[in-house]
Structure 1
Amino acid sequence: MSVQERKERERAERERLIVATARELAEQQGWDAVTTRRLAERIEYSQPVLYSHFRGKREIIGAVALEGATEMAAALRAATAAADGPRSRVAALAHGYLDFAESNPAVYDALFQLDGGLAYAQEDTPAPLKDAFAALLESLSEVAGDGVEPGLFTEVFWASLHGLATLTRAGRLLPQDAARRVELLTDRLAVL
Structure 2
Amino acid sequence: MSSTEGRERERAQRHQLIITAARELAEAEGWEAVTTRRLAERVEYSQPVLYSHFKGKDAMVRAVAIEGFDDLAARLRRARLAETSPGEALRAVSRACPEFAVARPALYEAMFVMPIDVPFASQDTPPALRAAFDELVAVIGPGGGRDELYAEVIWSALRGLAVLAHGRRMPAERQQERLEILVQHFAPDPADLPQGRASSAQMTLP
Read off the aligned partner of 1:58 and give its amino acid letter: D
Deviations 1:147-192 (A, max 9, x none): 4611110000111101110011011121221221111110123342
State how far apart, in whole Å, the 1-side matches of 2:133 and 2:90 are.
14
Read off the aligned partner of 1:34 and give its amino acid letter: V
Where has structure 1 moved over 2 Å in runs of 4 or more? 188-192
The question of whether the paired residues in 2 share the 8 Å contact of 1:91 and 1:186 is answered with yes
State how far apart, in whole Å, the 2-side matches of 1:143 and 1:188 are.
14
Residues 1:175 and 2:165 are matched in the alignment: no
Greater shift in the superposed pair: 18-27 or 98-107: 98-107
Q: How do residues 1-16 of structure 1 correspond to structure 2 at under 5 angstroms?
A: 1-16=1-16
Tell me the equivalent position of 1:157.
154
The question of whether the paired residues in 2 share the 8 Å contact of 1:143 and 1:190 is answered with no
Tell me the equivalent position of 1:72.
72
C-alpha displacement of 1:42: 1.0
Q: Figure out how many residues of one structure are paired with residues of the other and give that number.
A: 189
- SS of alignment partner, residue 162 of structure 2: helix
State how far apart, in whole Å, the 2-side matches of 1:94 and 1:45 are.
41
TM-score by length of 1: 0.93
Unaligned runs of 5+ in 1: none
TM-score by length of 2: 0.87
The question of whether the paired residues in 1 share the 8 Å contact of 2:165 and 2:171 is answered with yes
Q: How do residues 57-96 of structure 1 correspond to structure 2 at under 5 angstroms?
A: 57-96=57-96
The question of whether the paired residues in 1 share the 8 Å contact of 2:66 and 2:128 is answered with yes
Structure 1 vs Structure 2 CA RMSD? 1.3
Identity %: 45
The question of whether the paired residues in 2 share the 8 Å contact of 1:97 and 1:161 is answered with yes
Tell me the equivalent position of 2:35.
35
